[in-house]
Amino acid sequence: MSETSVIHDIGYQRYEGPRLGRGAVIGALVVHGLRVAFGLGRSAKAKIFPWLVFGIVTGVAVIVGAVRAQADIVILDYVQFADTMSWLIILFVAIVAPELVSRDMRSGVLPLYFSRPLRAADYIGAKFAALVAAVWLLLGVPQLVMFLIAAFTTDDGMRGVWHEVGDLLPAWAYSALWAVLFAAISLLIASLTGKRAFAAGAVVAVFLMTTPVFGVLQTLPSQNAQHLAGLASPMMLISGVGLWLLPDTNPGWSVGRFGPVYGIEAVALIVCCLLLLLARYRKVASL
Amino acid sequence: MLAFPTLCLVTLIVTQALTKTYGGRVTALADLSVTVEPGVIGLVGANGAGKSTFLKIMLGLIEPTDGSVRVLGLDPTVEPDKVRSRVGYMPENESLPPDVSAAEFVTHMGRISGLPRTAARERASEALRHVGLYEERYRQIGGYSTGMKQRAKLAQALVHDPDLLLLDEPTNGLDPAGRDAMLALVHRIGAEFGISVVVCSHLLGEVERICDSLVAIEGGRLLRSGSMSAMTEASDVLAVEVSEGAPELAAALEALGLPVRHEGRMLLVPLESEEAYDQILRAVAELDLPLHRLDQRRHRVAELFTPKETADV
């Protein structure tokens, strides 16, 4: 470069700084997905829905907590809270999962991702982690609110607080189970189409259609059939795993001695969804 | 740092009998052996000639059926991550989300390429400035014109400072002015930024202006490859058209030692020296022939391909 051009030099600069590995790239993609889930860094329109859901869920938690503190009536315990909020969660994943994967498919941005040091599994993993985290926050934060209200109004001092912690932690794990299963199913459905509205409809439909099946099976005279009815619906499946692992909960039905079956199906369903997702994106990535 | 200069000396792209068939029936690439030196390289061929397949093999996105390929001295089938981190890819199709700004999108792509947060933001601004979108960088991409979208696509390929850019039909859908601007930009990237560029195009006339070397493929087979200077050497031609007396003129010129070719009613005379031009003019004047046309034209690379192309068919 000549001496005289230096003053006006706005020429190209090579990048000499650090280049981060795949771990950091996946991390960046997870954070990006989490921001997308809650509409952060996007238009006000994109924020309305997630924050509305978040507001409702937290509002319910505050009411439940307050009623318990004032009147000593337990409307919902931590675990029941997660069950009761399930329809809102379905709405949430139905909107957010297409936002995470259908958008990328629609806008044709995937070749730009996969021409970088990013594998199909990394992409799936990051999107999955982001959605799991978003759903878990949606349940876990209100549960924490309930806990805080209970902890500050307890009459038993430290012992009461410890008791609440003992209730909260399994409930957080239970919320994580909700998050993992719902994220896996909804991402798989959403990855099949680039149209967000279709994807959202399909996610709601899958959860909606399977619930009546549970209702019908529950009316069968056989007790085994009643105990196994929950396997037909993802929502009841989680509920069943809850019944098996957290026996104090009482959602009004029972899994009898079939608890492990629920556990196995839940794990199998999650693994299956993720493998199908991976297969789908292996194909997409090579296009 | 010491190892870097030697890396620069590595041949840009080498393929050996590269073949890609789909299901044993459709042949996308057949026995392609080519060696490409750094610079701006035109990859020319009709639609479906195998250009995009070649790019995807170089990115390690698809595996070749047979043969070998090395990009920047690395094998993309073995070390795709290493190759991809040094290569920028601009696909042919629409590939931008409409509802984010170019600045945000290119920054995100920078992070996906492994740049730290601040560096990604800085490099995104820089890349957008170089492609001429600095003023519009905070506007949503959905509101961009086709030309601006192509530039944004180029910016995302440039954000991580690659050593090699693979551009798949960068002038697609652009009007003539947009084409010229895009080609000038590509040329500048090759000449001033020190980044090698492979430009795919189905229009030979378009890329020949900006390329240092050319690779032409047809039906997945190598038609020809070489540097532009070798291809266009001594290829300036003067086309003379006289309304009568063409045979006399041809005879006169041949007497002067100038080889004459007939093309329709025109005589094509190679311009090997400055004097040749004067000699031709003088010959026309001496014979007092009615001169219709006098065209100095650079021998188009297309003409170099023509004979072989027809022989192949």
Distance CA A234, CA A221 (A): 22
B288 vs A: CB within 8 A: no
CA quadruple B184, B188, B191, B195: dihedral sign: negative
Asked if B96 lies within 8 A of A108 by C-beta distance, the reply is yes
**Residue where a domain stops, chosen among B183, B211, B228:** B228
Radius of gyration of chain B measured on its C-alpha atoms: 24
Inform me whether the pLDDT recorded for B82 exceeds 50.
Answer: yes
CB A138 within 8 A of CB A53: yes
Contact A117 B85 (CB under 8 A): yes
Could you tell me if B267 and B194 lie in one domain?
A: no
* B58 & B108 share domain: yes
Q: What string of pLDDT tens digits covers the 287 residues of chain A?
A: 444 444 445 688 888 889 998 899 999 999 999 999 998 877 888 889 999 999 999 999 999 999 988 888 888 888 888 888 888 999 999 999 999 999 898 888 999 999 998 889 999 999 999 999 999 999 999 999 999 998 888 877 888 888 889 889 999 999 999 999 999 999 999 999 889 899 999 999 998 888 888 888 888 888 888 888 888 888 888 888 888 888 766 667 778 788 889 899 999 999 999 999 999 998 877 76
Chain B CA closest to residue A117: B81
pLDDT of residue A249: 64
Query: Is there a contact between B94 and A24 if contact means CB atoms under 8 Å apart?
Result: no
The predicted structure's pLDDT at residue A163? 87
List the domain range (segments joined by +) for residue B295.
234-312
Contact of B123 with chain A, judged by CB distance below 8 Å, is answered with: yes
Q: At residue B1, does pLDDT exceed 50?
A: no
* Claim to verify: residue B266 and residue B160 sit in the same structural domain: no
Residues B156 and B221 in one domain: yes
Residues of A in contact with B98 (CB under 8 A): 107
Cβ under 8 Å to A: B residues 151-170: 156, 160-161
Amino acid (one-letter) located at B275: E
Look at residue B306 in the predicted model and tell me its pLDDT: 53
CA distance A261 to A255: 9
Which residues of chain A are at the B interface, by a Cβ-Cβ cutoff of 8 Å? 10-15, 17-22, 24-25, 28-29, 32, 41-43, 103-104, 107-118, 285-287
B239: β partners:
B268, B295
pLDDT for B303 equals 58
Minimal CA separation from B72 to chain A, in Å: 16
Predicted pLDDT at A80: 86
Query: So what's the pLDDT on residue B122?
Result: 94
State whether residue B113 sits within 8 Å of chain A by CB. yes
Of the residues B163, B198, B228, which one is the last residue of a structural domain?
B228
B216 and B121 together in one domain = yes
Q: What is the CATH number of the domain that holds B53?
A: 3.40.50.300
Q: Name the residue among B95, B116, B126 with its Cβ closest to that of A109.
A: B95
pLDDT at residue A87, as a whole number: 86
Which ranges constitute the DSSP H helices of A85-193?
A: 86-97, 103-107, 110-114, 120-153, 158-190
B251 and B112 within one domain:
no
Contact residues, chain A, for B156 at CB < 8 Å: 112
Looking at the structure, tell me whether residues B224 and B264 fall in a common domain. Answer: no
Give me the number of domains chain B comprises: 2
**Cβ neighbours around A261 below 10 Å, total:** 19
Digit-coded pLDDT (tens) for B135-154: 999 999 999 999 999 999 99
Residues B193 and B247 in one domain: no
- For residues B183 and B267, state if they share a domain: no
Q: What is the pLDDT of residues B10-55, one digit of tens each?
A: 789 999 999 999 887 888 899 999 999 999 999 998 888 889 899 9
Task: Inspect the interface and report whether the beta carbons of B109 and A112 lie closer than 8 Å.
Answer: yes
Cross-strand bridge partners of residue A18: none
Residues contacting A242, CB < 8 A, separation 6+: A79, A83, A174, A177, A249, A251
Q: Which of A9, A14, A15 to mutate to test the interface with B (most CBs of B within 10 A)?
A: A15
Same domain, B177 and B282: no
What pLDDT score was predicted for residue A32?
Answer: 94
Contacts of A214 (CB under 8 A, 6+ apart): A229, A230, A232, A233, A235, A236
Among B187, B205, B228, residue at a domain's last position: B228
Whether the per-residue pLDDT at B234 is higher than 90: the answer is no
Q: B160, A14: Cβ pair inside 8 Å?
A: no
pLDDT over 70, % of chain B = 90
- Over range B267-293, report the average pLDDT: 82
Tell me the average pLDDT across B110-134: 94
Q: Clarify whether residues B126 and B146 are in a common domain.
A: yes
HEC-encoded secondary structure of chain B: CCHHHHHHHCCCEEEEEEEEEECCCEEEEEEEEEEECCCEEEEECCCCCCHHHHHHHHCCCCCCCEEEEEECCECCCCCHHHHHHCEEEECCCCCCCCCCEHHHHHHHHHHHCCCCHHHHHHHHHHHHHHCCCCCCCCCEHHHCCHHHHHHHHHHHHHCCCCCEEEEECCCCCCCHHHHHHHHHHHHHHHHCCCCEEEEEECCHHHHCCCCCEEEEEECCEEEEEEEHHHHHCCCEEEEEEECCCHHHHHHHHHHCCCCCEEECCEEEEECCCHHHHHHHHHHHHHHCCCEEEEEEEECCHHHHHHHHHHHHC
Question: Does any CB of chain A come closer than 8 Å to the CB of residue B192?
Answer: yes
User: Best interface-test mutation with A: which of B113, B159, B167 has the largest number of A CBs within 10 A?
Assistant: B113
Residue A63 is predicted with a pLDDT of 93
Q: Which residues contact A4 (CB under 8 A, 6 or more apart)?
A: none
- The ipTM estimated for the assembled molecules is 0.86
Token match 């809850």: residue? A242
Stretch 28-87 of chain B: residues touching chain A, C-beta under 8 Å: 56, 59, 61-62, 80-82, 84-85, 87
Residue A111 to residue B91, Cβ atoms within 8 A: yes
Question: Same domain, yes or no, for B78 and B183?
Answer: yes
Chain B environment of A28 (Cβ under 8 Å): 111-112, 117
Cα angle for residues A117, A120, A126 (degrees, 5° grid): 90
Instruction: Nearest by CB to B84, from A14, A108, A115: name it.
Output: A115
Cα of A108 to nearest chain B Cα, Å:
4
Tell me whether residues B109 and A15 touch, CB distance under 8 A: no
Residue A225 CA to residue B238 CA, distance in Å, equals: 93
Q: Do A15 and B111 touch (CB under 8 A)?
A: no
B184 pLDDT tier (thresholds 50, 70, 90): very high
pLDDT at B7: 47
Q: Which of A153-157, B80-84, B198-202 has the weakest average pLDDT?
A: A153-157
Host H or E run for residue A42: none
Q: Do B113 and A116 touch (CB under 8 A)?
A: yes
Decide if B91 touches A, using CB distance below 8 A.
yes
CATH of the domain at B296: 3.30.70.100
pLDDT bucket at B304, cuts 50 / 70 / 90: low
Asked which of A209-218, B84-93, B99-108, B186-195 is least confident by mean pLDDT, the reply is: A209-218
B95 touches chain A (CB under 8 A): yes
Chain A interface mutation, best of B72, B83, B85, B95, highest count of A Cβ atoms under 10 Å: B95
Question: Does B93 sit within 8 Å of A28, measured CB to CB?
Answer: no
Picking from A109, A116, A118, the nearest residue to B96 by CB comes out as A109
